[in-house]
Amino acid sequence: MEDVASNFIHDIIDKDLQEGLAEEIHTRFPPEPNGYLHIGSAKAIWINYTIAKKYGGKFNLRYDDTNPVKEEEEYVISIEEDLMWLGAIPSGGIFYGSDYFDQCYEYAKKLIIDGKAYVCDLSQEQMSEYRGTLTEGGKESPYRNRSVRENLELFEKMKAGAFAEGECTLRAKIDMSSSNMNMRDPVLYRIIYASHHRQGDKWCIYPMYDFAHPIQDAQEGITHSLCSIEFENHRPLYDWVIDNIGVSHKPHQYEFARLNMTYTVMSKRYLRKLVETNVVDGWDDPRMPTLCGLRRKGYTPSAIFEFISKSGVSKTFSIADVKFLEHCLCTELNETAQRRIAVTQPLSVIITNYPSNEIEYFDISNNPQKPEQGKRSLPFTNELYIEQSDFLVEPAPGFKRLVLGGEVRLMGAYILKCNEVEYDEKGNAAKLLCTVDLETKNNKPADGRKVRGTIHWLSAGHTLDAQFRIYNQLFNKENVSSLLEDDNFEEFLDPDSLEVYDNCKMELALEHAKTGENIQFVRQGYYVKDSKHDGVFNRTAPLKSSYRPK
């Protein structure tokens, strides 16, 4: 593994190791299986995984499946698939928060016995009223001083299903006057009558994340519990739980800034709406920031991790440029992607001075950046396809391709001259009648005339049909996340986020193209075979990113 640039978390770990506060570093990635992972999740994965690798420690995948209402097995499967695709192998193992429900229950009873937790009958609305505000402290629940015996009996009845949902909760007894709202007697357990994807109907009470998470970390021997910055105000509660449940191993929580990206929404709530309202073609739509969407679009794990690494790790809010992600990918694919030829909008060319029964082959490089990858043979006949955009009847300023009466170089072959144009019923060019200079086979014209442009081509009788899809940004506002309110995301959708081209032509070498194999279509961009639809190729990125450092 390449060295990872040091950051403030590494500084903390270095200090902890030096002072003997930790021996083997142990990290974890704890996603809730209520949706698909996105590129923001990849930052958390990268931080935890690379730290474990750097310090020779362990890295766990732990599903935070403490809310049976939102979680599904589909998401459990997808999360593991994404980690494996990224190469972030959980060296410490794969765990589930629900594996610790028995321990959580016992620790909750310990808190009750120690006088640090109580069963509260306040409704959610009443509890909110009692909680106070950011500037005024809250007031204690009238049920706060129940006896230990009564609380244990009530908690047991909660577990046995004697109460309705919302009828009561188990709360920590901390400080209703605390300046930190999270410490004002937070809820530890709530009642939910729903079947759990792993536990079935064993439980009808479920621990809150803030209570379960530190217990899970302690049980697994996590040394550094790394999470995004919105949990910073939850850290005192994390420490309170660890200090009061009586565990010998005491993990510590540290926070980092989330990954935010221009023209992108990361909220699972909004991503789910995009899927459910059919704005996109599922969670893996290539316009989505999900890892499965990026994978389907042709992004590579190495490009994603390079983007995250170079974007940096800090506690300061920032927004990364989505074009920088594209730049990281283009830089990689320029070196690795094999070149192929495709014509997006075919224009028929008939070469009148070339025998109709003759086939000639020209050797074309598979990758000019990697000569060791060799060449392939491209057939040449008297019937070709070129791009419609490579031809104009009359010259336009700056246009250096084919015009009526003009010449261009056919890439790797002859110089072509357009002599005549046949039009369709709409007045568009439908067929070009041309000639080639047979003396210019990979050579300059003998008479020294200059040919300004080079275009790609395919033999009309040696092609595969395909549909090309160009996926652009889904939203039309740079900082769209700050503009979203409830259901108003539709007003920020870009109507041109998907362009579809039918009747595209590709060279025969792509007949056995593999899903996920990156290809550079010469002069077109980087493409990948779609994983869901036969005969479809998705554009991964243009040939050159438009990213410009600010």
DSSP secondary structure letters along 92-147: TEEEEGGGGHHHHHHHHHHHHHTTSEEEE---HHHHHHHH--SSS-----TTTT--
Residue ranges matching CATH 2.40.240.10 in the chain? 342-456
Q: What is the pLDDT of residues 311-334, one digit of tens each?
A: 999 999 999 999 999 999 999 999
Rounded to 5 degrees, what angle do the CA atoms 392, 393, 394 make? Answer: 90
Q: Which two tokens stand for residue 532?
A: 């869901």
Which of these is catalytic: 32, 81, 140, 232? 32
Please determine, looking at this structure, whether the domain spanning 268-338+470-541 carries the CATH number 1.10.1160.10.
Answer: yes
CB of 224 closer than 8 Å to CB of 47: no
Which of these is catalytic: 131, 146, 190, 268? 268
**Catalytic annotation present for 544:** no
Which of these is catalytic: 54, 258, 431, 441? 258
- Mean pLDDT to the nearest integer, 374-382: 96
- Mean pLDDT to the nearest integer, 95-111: 98
Q: pLDDT > 90: what percent of the chain?
A: 91
End-to-end CA distance of the chain: 30
**Catalytic annotation present for 32:** yes
Residue ranges matching CATH 3.40.50.620 in the chain? 8-256
Residue 217 has pLDDT above 90, yes or no: yes
Provide the 10 A C-beta neighbour count for residue 380: 23
Residue 501 has pLDDT above 70, yes or no: yes
Residue ranges matching CATH 1.10.1160.10 in the chain? 268-338+470-541
CA distances from 434 to 166, 220, 411, 437 (A): 80, 73, 16, 10
pLDDT, residue 3, reads 66
Q: What is the pLDDT of residues 345-367, one digit of tens each?
A: 999 999 999 999 999 999 999 99
Q: Do the strands 58-63 and 26-29 form a parallel or antiparallel pair, or are they unpaired?
A: parallel
CB of 229 closer than 8 Å to CB of 259: no
pLDDT, residue 180, reads 97
Residue 1 has pLDDT above 60, yes or no: no
Please determine, looking at this structure, whether the domain spanning 8-256 carries the CATH number 3.30.200.20.
Answer: no
Q: Is 475 helix (H, G, I), strand (E, B) or coil?
A: strand
Residue 2 has pLDDT above 60, yes or no: no
Least confident range of 24-38, 51-65, 421-435, 486-500: 486-500
- Mean pLDDT to the nearest integer, 465-477: 96
Residue 310 has pLDDT above 50, yes or no: yes
Please give the CATH topology (third level) of the domain spanning 342-456: Ribosomal Protein L25; Chain P (2.40.240)
pLDDT, residue 169, reads 98
Q: What is the pLDDT of residues 10-66, one digit of tens each?
A: 999 999 999 999 999 999 999 999 999 999 999 999 999 999 999 999 999 999 999
Confidence band of 395 (pLDDT split at 50, 70, 90): confident
**Catalytic annotation present for 184:** no
Q: What is the pLDDT of residues 259-285, one digit of tens each?
A: 999 999 999 989 999 999 999 999 999
Provide the 10 A C-beta neighbour count for residue 429: 17
Residue 550 has pLDDT above 80, yes or no: no
Count of residues in the chain: 550
For residues 367 and 334, give the distance between their C-alpha atoms in angstroms, rounded to a whole number.
9
Burial bucket for residue 47 (CB in 10 Å: 0-12, 13-18, 19+): buried
Residue 203 has pLDDT above 90, yes or no: yes
Confidence band of 428 (pLDDT split at 50, 70, 90): very high
CB of 6 closer than 8 Å to CB of 311: no
Q: What mean pLDDT, rounded, does the chain reach?
A: 95
